[in-house]
Amino acid sequence: MLGNSLTGFNNIDTIVVGGGHAGVEAALAAARTGCKVLLITMNKQTIGRMSCNPSIGGLAKGQMVREIDALGGAMGKAADITGTQFKLLNKSKGRAVWSPRAQVDKREYEKHIHKTVTSHNNITVVEGEVVSPIIKKGRAAGVTMSNQDKIISKSVVLTNGTFLNGLIHIGDKKIPAGRMGEVRSEGITESLSSLGFKHGRLKTGTPPRLNRETINWSILDIITGDEKPAPFSHFHSLFNPPNTPSHSVNTNERVHNIIWENINRSPMYSGEILGVGPRYCPSIEDKINRFKERNAHRLICEPEWKNSDQIYLNGFSTSLPEKIQLEALQKIKGFESVSLIKPGYAIEYDYFFPNQLKTTLETKTYKNLYLAGQINGTSGYEEAAIQGLIAGANAGLFCLGLGPITLSRSDAYGGVLIDDLITKSTPEPYRMFTSRAENRLILRFTNANKRLSLKAFSSMLINKKQHNTMQEQTKEVMALIKYCDKTITTTQANPILKKINEKEITQKTKLKELIKRPSVSLEMFVSMKTKKLKVRQPYVDEVVLEADTEIKYSGYIRRINKQTKKILNNEALLLNSEIKYDNISGLSKEAQEKLNKSKPENMGQAMKISGVTISDAAVLSVYISKKQRVSRET
């Protein structure tokens, strides 16, 4: 017996610790599989709180929110309902990297999520502080609370990693987190360490919050959202969000000079922490350093909620001393007499090396114990949410005795995220970028349904109706593509081509061939009204866009699929966790050490570990096939 079990909490399947974005999706996902879930949070009021920027989505993250939605998650729908302005980003850079983003009302968002969680039949929410998971015979069996109460469960998901042992830096000033209004979790680092988990420390930054009254709004540039907004969720029957304008300012050389002169006083300055490389930390210090030739950067003033006094200055993440921040900001047109409600700052916190996890986000050492969110070293709501969803789903599926759900790199940005986390030890907060996904040409926001609905359905994360809705949309896309196989005559095509200054055709041509031209689009030739699509707005536009893209990129898509298949063949080779790598002669010392430490599950993961060369991989694959041969013979 495990001491006195907390009354009223019997027969719990899954305990989720923490009510942030990871915790919310974890609890909901486990609940969707049919499990009884107990969500333990330090403060019920903060469930689903957006502690930083008042927006959801953005580059690569927008695609991820779509994936969360396709997997039945809550984030997309909540953002759609509480969004104040919607915009597709990266329109100038190619359609596969177009990313939806929404400005949201933080307070409304939080309210909506709170309701979603607390109204779910399978979820019980309780306030309390968890100090440690209970481990019995190498398995998680519940949690111990700070008052020594024990709650028993079949699986445990820890998502309580928001700024573990947080320490704030503003210039050379250091403040333990908590005083800045951030939640600070303590205690869990120690208990996980004592279970043998290794941890490290990370830094991340935020921009300052400005006082609304002190900005000269009348001279700022106005930004409006898209006229035809794209929703995050696949399941609306109506989508008609507001298009609240936001305002932008530009930095200038005087601003840059002040920052440049004081750059050494910024503990976040990536030049020291990260070194160079394509992946970067988007602080203003870093931007100025990287784009020396550019004399202005655009900053966006985002109200945190309706009529909020507090303005989030997007694009100006910094950890310079408060005085310097103010001095620099006041050189901006419109900010001449600006004052700060909260300065920008860097925060340092603990995280657990995520290479101690499996693709399911279960820990390698203890069964039924899952880790998700900032505790794994990621930053951002979306990154946390997708991990929470996968961890929670697996914690639930386990309780039901069902197989796990995993995402691969060619399935989803979420798959890239988890794979990167567990195979690469990046010593920086992990933020999703499109450049992290080698398959980004096929990971589009318009095809998350096609990529994930079957997976979601077979893991009970969505119901039959949701599955059908997504399938229907995929079918419509395929029908449109098929339709474009038909030929079009010169008299039909040329007037349209002429209008857009495109080279006219001299003979009958397949519609597909015309659409492959960069500046020709499907819409020009197919009237959706006459085509009578089965899907309705807001999804008509994305069906058309998706079909257009599939046609335009068909050559690329074919090449990528071929490459992926080839890689998967090899990557799928399983590596038993019992393998003693130091006994394999031919492996380099470095590879032996790293493989022993991270115990990859398959060849694909092994190849990605830095320090494991192709020749190591060759040695490994020979070793594995030899072993398989031997075990077959005996």
**Where on the chain is the footprint of another protein (CB under 8 A)?**
58-60, 89-90, 92-97, 99, 101, 277-280, 282, 287, 290-291, 293-294, 297-300, 314-315, 433-435, 438, 440-441, 518-519, 556, 585-586, 588, 613-615, 618-619, 621-622, 626
* Element holding 458 (H helix, E strand): helix 448-458
Rounded least distance, CB 311 to another protein, Å: 16
Please say whether the beta carbons of 186 and 131 come within 8 A: no
Give the shortest CB-445-to-another protein separation in angstroms.
13
Taking a C-beta distance cutoff of 8 angstroms, is the pair 159, 18 a contact?
A: yes
Number of H helices, E strands in the chain: 21, 22
Nearer to another protein, 100 or 343 (CB): 100
- What are the E-state strand segments in 407-460? none
Task: Kindly tell me which of 51 and 248 has the beta carbon lying closer to another protein.
Answer: 248
Q: Which of 375, 362, 360 is nearest to 429 (CA)?
A: 375
Q: 403 or 611: whose CB is closer to another protein?
A: 611
CB of 466 to another protein, least distance (A): 30
**CB of residue 299 to another protein, shortest distance in Å:** 8
Does residue 550 contact residue 483 with C-beta atoms inside 8 Å?
no
Kindly state the smallest distance separating residue 460's Cβ from another protein, in Å: 35
Which two structure tokens, joined as six digits, stand for 91? 């329109």
Closer residue to another protein in complex, CB, 265/290 = 290
Of residues 465 and 632, the one with the C-beta less far from another protein: 632
Q: Exposed (0-12), middle (13-18) or buried (19+): which is 590, by Cβ within 10 Å?
A: middle
| 3-state helix, strand and coil shares in percent for the chain, rounded to the nearest 5 | 40, 20, 40
Task: Give the Cα separation of 83 and 86 in Å (integer).
Answer: 7
Cβ(250)–Cβ(294) below 8 Å: no
In the bound state with another protein, the residue whose beta carbon lies nearer, of 387 and 549, is: 549
CB neighbours of residue 37 within 10 Å: 30
Q: How far apart are the first and last CA of the chain?
A: 43
Q: Rounded to whole angstroms, how far apart are CA atoms 320 and 266?
A: 5
Q: Which is nearer to another protein, 174 or 626 (CB)?
A: 626
- Candidates 419, 44, 19, 349; CA nearest to 186 is 349
SS3 for 238? coil
Contact (CB, 8 A) for 72 and 458: no
Q: How far is the CB of 96 from another protein (least distance, A)?
A: 5
Tokens 């408060």 -> residue: 322
Q: Residue 270 CB, nearest distance to another protein (Å)?
A: 12
Q: What are the CA-CA distances from residue 215 to residues 106, 248, 313, 334, 337 (Å)?
A: 21, 11, 12, 6, 7
Closest CB to another protein among 196 and 245?
A: 245
Beta bridge partners of 168: 175, 347
Minimum gap (Å) between residue 363 Cβ and another protein:
31
**Which of 111, 279 has the CB closer to another protein?**
279
CB of 335 to another protein, least distance (A): 17
Q: Which residue has the tokens 């997708």?
A: 386
DSSP character for 95?
G
Tell me whether residue 338 or residue 442 sits nearer to another protein (CB atom): 442
Residue placing its CB nearer to another protein in the complex, 45 or 615: 615
Nearest distance, CB of residue 623 and another protein, angstroms: 9
- For residue 617, the surrounding DSSP H or E stretch is helix 614-633
Task: Report the nearest approach of another protein to the CB of residue 208 (Å).
Answer: 17
Nearer residue to another protein within complex by CB, 371 or 603: 603
- The answer to whether 416 touches 32, Cβ cutoff 8 Å, is no
Least distance to another protein, CB of residue 584, Å: 8
Match 């047109």 to its residue by tokens. Answer: 333
Please state, in angstroms and rounded to a whole number, the distance separating the CA atoms of residues 22 and 507.
57
Do 310 and 214 meet the contact criterion of CB atoms below 8 Å apart?
no
